Amino acid sequence: MKKERVKTEAYPTKLWPTAAILLLIGAYALSNSHFNVMMNSIINAFHLVGAEQGMLSSMLNIGGMLALLLTPILQGRMGKSRMLIISAVMQTLMLFAAGIAPNFGLMAIIYILLGIGGGWIDTYSNSLMVDLHSKDSAKYLGLLHGCYSIGGVLTPILIQGLLIYSTWRRTYFYSAIIVAVLVILSIGAMLKSHNPCTKQSITAEKKVSIALVRQYLQKRRNILLIVSSMLNAAAQTGLLVWLVRYMTLQFDSESFGSFTVSVFWICATISRFVAPRIRVRPLKIYAIGALLAGLFNMIGVLSGSSIIMCIMIGAIGLVSGHSIPILISEGAAGYKDSTSLPTSILLFSMCLARVVMPLVMGAMVEYTSILGAMLLPVVTSLLAFVTGYWILKMKSASL
C-alpha cells in the first residue's frame, strides 16, 4: 500500500513538467525551422546574393551560441523552468518583430535575439529532461527530440500553406500566434505540478567554475564528442537549410522541396523514438548512422533526380535523426550534479557549426555550383563517422 502511494505522488511531479517541456520544444521547432522554408521569400524580398543567402540561419545560431555562453553562468542561479518560459516568450516577440522588419540589417538582429531564446530552450529542455528522468535519459531525450521532429514535420507544411495564401510578413505573425498558444499551454502544465521542477533542479546543480569547465575539457572523450557533434550538426544544417533552395534551383520545385523537408522530419521522428530502444550501444548506432547519412546524401545529389533525392533525405532522417539526443545523453553521462554544463558545451559546439556551414555553402553556390555545395554535408557526415568510431575504439581507461 505504501509503495502504491509513493508511485501516485511521484507521477504528477514528473508528468506535468515533462508535458510543459514537450510543448515548449514544439514551439522551438516552429521558431527554429521556419527559415528553411522562408529562405526563398527572404532572398527575393531583400535581394540577397552569395553568403548573404545563408546569413539569417547563421545569425540564428550566433544567437544560440550567445545563449549557451551565458547558460553556465546562470547554472545554479536561475530556475530552469523559469528560463524556459522567458525564452519562449522571447521567441514569440521576435517572430512578431520579424514580420515588420523594414530592412535586412534589422532582420539579422532580430534573428540573433530569436536564436538566444532558442538556445536557452534547447539547453534547458535537454538538461531538465535529464534531471527529471536520469535513470533512462536516452529514452526521454529521444521523446523530447521526437517531439521536436514532429514540429519539424509540421512546420514546412504549415509555412508553405501560409505562403500560398498570405505574404511572408504575415506568415511570421501567424507563426508567433501559434508559438504564443503553446507557451500559454506550457505555463498551465507547469502550474499543474504540485512540486515544480524549478526548485529541484536549481538545488541539485553545482555553480559552474573555471575548474569544472577545465575538468570537462581535459577528457579526450569529451573533446571527441564535441568535434563529432560539430561535424554532425554541420551535415544536418547544411542539408536542411539549403534543401528547399536546392530543389528550387535544380528542379524548379519549391513546394516539393518543402515536402522533402517534412519527409526528413517524419523519418527523423521515427528514428528518435525507435533508436533508444535498440539493444545496441548508442554510440555505435550514431557512428553507423553518420556513415550511412553521408552515403545516402551523395547518392541523392549525384542522382540528378528530385524523387531519388527525396527518398535519400528520408533515409538520412531514419539513420541519423537520433544523433543529437544520443550525443547529449553520452556527453551528460557522469555529470549528474551539473547537466547544464555538458549540455550547453555540446549545443554551443553544434551552434558554431550551424553558423559556419550555411555561409560556406552560400559562398560555394556563388563561386562553384549548388550541386557542389550540397556535397559538402557528405564530407562532414563521413568525418562525424570517423570521430564516432574513434570514441568507440578508445579503451575505457582513457575515457
- Output the pLDDT for position 303: 92
Question: Which stretches within the chain are classed as H helix?
Answer: 2-46, 55-74, 80-98, 104-132, 137-165, 168-192, 197-204, 210-217, 220-251, 254-274, 282-303, 306-320, 323-332, 340-367, 370-374, 376-393
pLDDT number for residue 301: 92
First to last CA, the chain: 44
Contact 91, 28 (CB under 8 A): yes
C-alpha angle 338-340-344 in degrees, rounded to nearest 5: 135
pTM, two decimals, is 0.70
Whether the CB-CB separation of 175 and 159 falls below 8 Å is answered with: yes
Angle between helices 340-367 and 376-393 (to 10 degrees): 150
| Each residue's pLDDT tens digit, 233-291 | 999 988 888 888 888 888 888 788 888 888 888 898 888 888 777 788 888 999 999 99
User: Which parts of the chain register pLDDT below 50?
Assistant: 1-12, 194-204, 396-399
DSSP string computed for 27-45? HHHHHHHHHHHHHHHHHHH
Distance of CA 38 to the CA centre of its chain: 18
Model confidence pLDDT, tens digit, residues 177-214: 998 998 888 888 777 664 444 444 443 455 666 777 78
Q: How many CB atoms lie within 10 A of CB 111?
A: 25
pLDDT at 4: 39
Among residues 282, 356, 372, the alpha carbon closest in space to that of 322 is found at 282
pLDDT given at position 194: 47
Cα separation, 216 vs 213, whole angstroms: 5
Place of cell 538538461: 127
Identify the structural domains of the chain with CATH numbers, from first to last: 2-398 (1.20.1250.20)
Confirm if 21 and 128 have CB atoms less than 8 A apart: yes
Class of residue 49 by CB neighbours under 10 A (exposed 0-12, middle 13-18, buried 19+): exposed
pLDDT at 138: 67
Q: Rounded distance, CA 306 to CA 246, Å?
A: 10
